[in-house]
Amino acid sequence: MDRDNPAVDDTAIRDLDARLHGDALGPADGDYRAARTVWNAMVDRYPAVVVRPADTNDVVVAVEFARRHGLSLAVQGGGHNVAGNGVCDGGLLLDCSLLTAVEVDVETRTARVEPGVTVGEFDRATQAHGLATPSGIVSTTGVAGLTLGGGWGWLSRSHGLAIDNLRAVEIVTADGAVRHASDDEHADLFWGLRGGGGNFGVVTAFEFALHEVGPTVLAGVLAYPFEAAGDLLRFHREFTASAPEELCCYASVRTAPSASFVPADIRGERIVTAYLCYAGPIEDGERAIRPLREFREPLVDLVEPRRYTAFQGLFDDVYPPGYRNYWKSQFVGEAGLSDEAIETLVEYANAVTSPYTSIVIEHLGGAISRPDSGASAYPHRDAGYSFNIFTRWADADEDDEHIAWTRAFFAAIAPNLSDGVYVNFLSREGNERVRAAFGDNYDRLVELKRRYDPENLFRVNQNIAP
C-alpha cells in the first residue's frame, strides 16, 4: 500500500508550515514522535512530514502538498485502526487531533462533528442533552474512522450503524476540492463514504442524526467461570436470536483483566462473559435480561443502571494503547455460531497464548439489518454477529507465538463462519479480504474510486484500487 516516497527536505516542510493555520512537523520536531505513535504497538512507521490542520483549508493545503510531491497520505483521527492505517512510512501524516469541535443542535437533533473527535468526546457533548447516536464501545476510538467503515456499538440494534445516522459530510477530495455530500448533493460519493473507509478523501465534518438515549441505561457485565463457556455460548445464541432490538448483548471469552471494574478475586482467571446494554426503560431491560441471570448464577453481576457515558468508557482499561495487536474477524449468519464452531472456540480458548487476548461475539441485527445491502457501501446487513479474535500481548519477542495461535484458530473456525468481514477489523490481509469486506459493492466502489481518486492518493487504508 505504501509505495516508495520521494524525500521531503526541511525547507519544503518549513514552507508548508508557513502556509498553515495549524502546523507541519518534521522528524526533528518535538511532537513528531507522539503524532506517529498509534494504538497498535506493532505499528512503527515514520512519515516524512506530519500536518496538524486547524481548519478545512489546512486539509486542502496538505492534500495538495502530498499530491504535488508524490507522497502517500495517511489520515489519523483516533489512531485506533488495528492495521495502523493512521500512519505511513515516508509520506504525509494528516493528524486531525486539533479538529475536535462538536456542535449539537437540540431542535433538529443533529450534531456536526470534526474528524479529530473521539467517541467519548462525542457522547459527552450529546448526552448533555439526553441525545446520542450509535458509535463504538471504547471511548478513545476516533469517530471518523469508525464511521467511514460502518460503525456499530451498543445502540446499533436500536438505531442502526453510524453511517445510517449520517446526514451529510464535508470532504476534501484528491483534487483538493471541498465538497459537500449527502443524499441530495454528490449522492454517489455519499453512498461510497458510508462504509467505503477512507478511500475517497478526508472528511472534515460529519453531520449525524441524534436520538433520545438515557442518560441512564441498564448495562454492564455478567461473568461466569470458563467451564461454562460452551453452555453460555449456546445459550447466548438462542437468547439473542429473540432479544428485543433495545438490547445488545456481546459474549466474550478471555482472562479477567486487571481493570477497575473487575473484582480483585477473579482477576487473572479465565472467564466467559456477557456484556450488555439495554437502550430503553430500565424496568423493561430488567425483564429482558432476566433469562441471562437465570441461566446460571454468575460469578459477578455488574449489570446495573449506569450513565451511558460511563458505560461507553468502561472498556477503555481493557483495550488500552501500547499493546501489540493481531486480529482476525469474520461475520456469522443470523443463526449464530454452530455447535461445532463453539466447540472449536472453547478448544482454542483453553490454549490461549496471551492473558490480554479476548474472543468476542458481537451481537448485530435489529435496525442494522433493515437497509438493503446496496443502500450504502457497507454490504453486510444480514450478518447476525461478528466473530472476533482480538489477540493482544506486550512483548515483541512473543510475536510469532501469538500470531501462529491466532492464525491456527481462525483457520479452524472459518469454515463455520460467513464469507464477509467488517472493514474496520481488518489487518493488512490482502486484496481478497478487502473484497470480502465490500462484497457485492466492490465493483461499484472501484468505479467511484476512478471518479474521485484515479491516482489512488488515498491508498493508506483497506484500499480500493482504481
State whether 250 and 359 are in the same domain: yes
The conformation of residue 277, written as its DSSP 8-state character, comes to E
d(C-alpha 168, C-alpha 181), whole Å: 6
> Given 95, 122, 144, which residue is the final one in a domain?
95
Task: Look at residue 245 and tell me if it is in a domain.
Answer: yes
C-alpha cell at 69: 510531491
Domain extent at residue 42: 10-95
Rounded to two decimals, what is the model's pTM?
0.95
> Given 38, 60, 95, which residue is the final one in a domain?
95
- Domain total in the chain: 3
What radius of gyration do the chain's Cα atoms show?
22
> Given 45, 79, 95, which residue is the final one in a domain?
95
State whether 267 and 351 are in the same domain: yes
Q: Is 186 left (phi over 0), alpha (psi -120 to 50) or beta?
A: left
On the 0-12 / 13-18 / 19+ scale of CB atoms within 10 A, 266 is middle
Task: Look at residue 454 and tell me if it is in a domain.
Answer: no
What angle, 0 to 180 degrees and rounded to 10, lies between the N-to-C axes of helices 10-18 and 56-69?
A: 150
C-alpha cell at 306: 449506569
State whether 82 and 133 are in the same domain: no
C-alpha cell at 340: 461445532
State whether 48 and 128 are in the same domain: no
Alpha helices for 185-307 (secondary structure H) = 187-193, 229-241, 282-295
Q: Tens place of pLDDT for every residue, the chain, 466 residues?
A: 455 677 888 999 999 999 999 999 999 999 999 999 999 999 999 999 999 999 999 999 999 999 999 999 999 999 999 999 999 999 999 999 999 999 999 999 999 999 999 999 999 999 999 999 999 999 999 999 999 999 999 999 999 999 999 999 999 999 999 999 999 999 999 999 999 999 999 999 999 999 999 999 999 999 999 999 999 999 999 999 999 999 999 999 999 988 777 888 888 899 999 999 999 999 999 999 999 999 999 999 999 999 999 999 999 988 999 999 999 999 999 899 999 999 999 999 999 999 999 999 999 999 999 999 999 999 999 999 999 999 999 999 999 999 999 999 999 999 999 989 999 999 999 999 999 999 999 999 999 999 999 999 999 999 999 9
Tell me the backbone φ, ψ of residue 344, rounded to 5 degrees.
Answer: -65, -40
State whether 209 and 223 are in the same domain: no
Q: Measuring CA to CA, which residue among 94, 134, 138 is closest to residue 118?
A: 138
d(C-alpha 440, C-alpha 444), whole Å: 8
Task: Look at residue 444 and tell me if it is in a domain.
Answer: no
Residue 182: how many other CB atoms lie within 10 Å: 14
Task: Look at residue 277 and tell me if it is in a domain.
Answer: yes
State whether 365 and 396 are in the same domain: yes
